[in-house]
Structures are given as C-alpha cells and as structure tokens.
Amino acid sequence: MNNTVKIYDTTLRDGTQGEGISFSVTDKLLIAEKLDHFGVDYIEGGFPGSNPRDITFFQEAKNLRLKHARLAAFGSTRRAGTKPSEDPQLRTLLDSAMPVVTIVGKTWTLHVTEILRTTLEENLAMIEDSTRYLVSQGREVIYDAEHFFDGFKADPEYSLRTLAAALKGGASNLTLCDTNGGTLVDEFKMIVGRAVQEFGGDKVGVHCHNDSGVGVAVSLAGITAGATLVQGTMNGYGERVGNANMTTILPNLLLKMGRSAHCAPNLAQLRDLSLFFDELANLRPDPKAPFVGQSAFAHKGGLHANAANKVARSYEHIDPAQVGNRTRVLISDMAGRTSLTLKAKELGLEIDEKRPEMKDLIEELKEREFRGYEYEAADASFKLLVAKALGQRKTFFEIENYRVIIERHGPDLWAEATVKLKVNGESRHTVAEDTGPVGALDKALRLALESTYPQLTDMKLRDYKVRILEGNHGAGSRTRVLIESGDGGGIWGTVGVSDNIIDASWEALREAVEFKLSQS
C-alpha cells in the first residue's frame, strides 16, 4: 500500500461556487502562494476563459514562483463530434499555460444520453481523445469522473470503461467524484475498492461533497480503500452545503491514519491557514470546526477542565498544538476552583485556588451567570472580575451619570450621548453625537478620557452582539450585550447584562475601555 497521499485543493474553483464565497484576483494569487507554502500538491485555479476574473488570474498565475504545488486549469472533454485540436475549450485550457489540466467527463449513462445527448461509445471517445491530445501537448492530465458513484450504481461496467478510456489516453489520475454527495461510507468504500482493484491505487483519487454530512468520512474511506489522491476545499467551502473539508481531512489522515503527505511538516500552520481563508472570504470562522475551531479544545465543565489539566489526553483527542490550536478553559456556573485557576492562568493571572477569595469569586460568578452573564466570549470582563475579587482592580475613572437621547429629523436619525465622570478627582462632562446610541456613548466616553489616556485613540469597537435572554417578558426582557474591541495588537471581549439594552451596552463598553487601560 502506498502510504503517501497527494493533496489536491480545489478551493479556488469548486470552493468559489459556494454561496457567499468570492475572491478577487489578488486574493486568488495570495491563496495560491499560501497553499504552495503549506505544501499541497495541486492547486486548481478555476475555468480559464469562463469569466474576466479567472482569465486575469491565469494570466497573472504564469508569473508565480511556486516551490512545490502544481497549478491546474479545469475544463471538460471535447464536444461530441469535434476533434480535440479544434475544440475551443481544450484550446483555452492549453492557452492558460498551466502544467496540469483537470478535465471532467461523464461516467453516468443518464448524463451521456439525456444531458450530452450522444452515444455511450462517443462519450468514451471524447474522454480518451481529449486526454491523449492534452498529454501530447505536454500537460499532466487528471480526469475527474463526474457522478462516478451514481454512474457505478446504474451501470458498473460502463462507469469503469470511462475510467479505462481516460487511462488509455494518458491520465495520471482518475478522480472518482461523488458529485451529488449522496453516497454513504460503506458503499463508497466498496466502489472505490473496485476501481483500485481495476486500475491500481496510485491511479485513483476521490472528490467528495458534504450533502449527506459525510464528506470527510467518505474521503477518508476512499483513502482506506486504496486511493492515493484526495480533493477538498479549505474550510469546506463549496456548492450547496460544501465540499469535503480539507482542514478536517488532513489531520485525520496524518495524525490518525498514519499516512504521509508533503504538507505534513507544516500541519501546525493549519489553524492559521483556515483563518486566512475566512479572512479573505470575509466570513466569521466557525468556532465548532473540528481541529481548527476556537471551541475545538475548549473545556467548560469543571471536571473536564480539571482532568485535562492533569492529563491532557483524558479529554483531548490530539495535542492542539499539532494543528496550531490551543486548549481553552471556558468559565460558567459549572466552573470550580480548578477551572477558575486555569482560566486565570490562561489570561496571565497567577492565583492560588486555595485563596479564601476564590470561594466568593465562584459564588459571584454563579450568581452573575444566573442573571444572564456569560464569559466564554468575554475574557476581558472575566479578567476584570478576577482582579476585583483579588483586590487588584485599578480605578481609572468613576462614572457619575450618563444619558442618551435619540432624535429623528426627517430621514435622518441621530443619537446624542452625555457622559459625566471623574478622572483623578477631576469632573468631566462631555457630549457627542453619532447615528446610534452605542456609537454616541463610545465617542462621549473617549472624549472624556483621551486627554489623560491617549492610548485609547487606537482602540476600535469591532463587533457588537445582542441576545434577548427572557423573551416572554416582551420589551422588558433582560438583554445581554457582547462587545468585541481591538487595538491592532489584540482583540478582547466584554459583556453587559441589563433589563435596558442601552445600559447593557454601556456596561460592556465601559469594561472594554477599562480593560484597555489596565493593559497599558
């Protein structure tokens, strides 16, 4: 059995067919360089000639100096009744000047007779002729057998003949595509095994979609059955519910299944790579993503946190550092002394869990959680709470009162905030306007503080979330507000809870400023 698996990334083609996914030409070039640096073997760039963006990408991609990865242009076999040398799409694929060409062909008799409207024999000729022509022009050809699993179920003999035609034409790999994403693990493994038996594992690859929620599972099953190339997309981007997620496939292959790949030495960069893709796609990272998600190694239960601290593998299936992640302790009313101590240590606070203040801190934390506070995404508020319990919380300013007025003048809506506070015993009274009440409060608070604390000038409110906690109370329901702030050097979260949404926002905003000052 060949222990090495080739990694084929199709994010720039199949991934961009996902809803809400769009990359600029510059993005695509950066991604290609990033994937090459990570160590993937093939990078599929898209359809040359299909749209201005891909046309420009392939023109620019000729100048990339990739160290390992091979760029692939994607297209289909020649049209029925057309010579390969006269087919405009094959010419476009060659004009892209990419070293690899991936062509898709029909393997399901239904598609041949009802979609292409040609004969089964002509389809075989289209596959073989196209492959041979591209190989004769000095290209490596990977054959994507579209709807292979549906085709195999309908007519096993014919679907295998399509693979034989591509191999006869000189294809380096026969990638079996579960295009509809409907095949389950046992059947998938059996069908891949049959193809491996016929053509050899070194010639077989798999390309899976996640429509049944098993895209990763069937990809791994294909490797177990003998395939040696796997296609996927970063973060599972793709049409409908997405493609098989490469950020999950890779650690399973390399850490669980004992396989090797060229990118194996760089696996600790996986989380950063995942975040890089989400950043360029303008998507918020999935905190629940296996291996790379923020919550992948997060422990909330006190017993879990305690056990993981003593023996990490008791509640962690791998060392998080192997994929560039880390252990996190979540603080809630389930927390005990050990959880609090570990969380405080994570935030840079060294405290003894036997200190008498710990009991009061735990009780206050549980009472606050009962009222609706949550600290899982509000580390800064938790750190301030601990500092207060230990008598280490410094006072930078004292709030006397605040007020917010909202006015509409025709089509324009404005909020005016007034803040009155003391800084070093000096009273300050400031007023500011903005389109919304939180923005106005933020401006008024900064106006009062920045002359004394100029470090606040680079602090920005990055995100704002509101959660209604007791919906049965209508407009008087308790509200939780989470604010994410940043200053270019770090990001922190704060939380506020109140029956009044403005007051909850003010609490979270005030603590965001206080935390920033405490770090200066």
- Cβ contacts of 53-59, under 8 Å, gap ≥ 24: 53/24, 53/25, 53/28, 56/25, 57/12, 57/25, 57/28, 57/29, 58/96, 58/97, 58/98
B/e letters for 125-154, b = 16+ CB within 10 Å, e = fewer, are bbbbbbbbbbbeeebbbbbbbbbbbbbbee
Provide the whole-model pTM.
Answer: 0.70
CA pair distance 491, 499, nearest whole angstrom: 27
H or E, element range at 229: strand 229-232
Q: What are phi and psi of 140, to 5 degrees?
A: -80, 135
Share of the chain above pLDDT 70, in %: 89
Digit-by-digit pLDDT tens for the chain (520 residues) are: 569 999 999 999 999 999 989 888 888 998 999 999 999 999 999 999 777 888 899 999 998 999 999 999 999 999 999 999 999 999 999 999 999 999 999 999 998 998 889 999 999 999 999 999 999 999 999 999 999 999 999 999 999 999 999 999 999 999 999 999 999 999 999 999 999 999 999 999 999 999 999 999 999 999 999 999 999 999 999 999 999 999 999 999 999 999 999 999 999 999 989 988 988 887 878 989 999 998 888 876 544 445 545 445 556 889 998 998 877 766 554 455 555 666 566 556 666 666 676 777 777 777 787 788 877 678 888 888 888 887 888 999 999 999 999 998 888 889 999 999 999 999 999 999 999 999 999 999 999 999 999 999 999 888 888 888 765 555 567 888 989 888 877 888 899 999 899 999 999 999 999 999 998 7
CA pair distance 502, 441, nearest whole angstrom: 9
**What string of DSSP letters covers 431-491?**
EEEESSHHHHHHHHHHHHHTTT-GGGGG-EEEEEEEEES-GGGGGG--EEEEEEEE-SS-E
Q: Is 311 exposed, middle or buried (0-12, 13-18, 19+ CB in 10 A)?
A: exposed
CA pair distance 73, 83, nearest whole angstrom: 20
Domains of the chain by start residue, with CATH:
6-281 (3.20.20.70), 298-364 (no CATH), 372-389+460-520 (3.30.160.340), 397-452 (3.30.160)
- 191 within 8 A of 176, measured Cβ to Cβ: yes
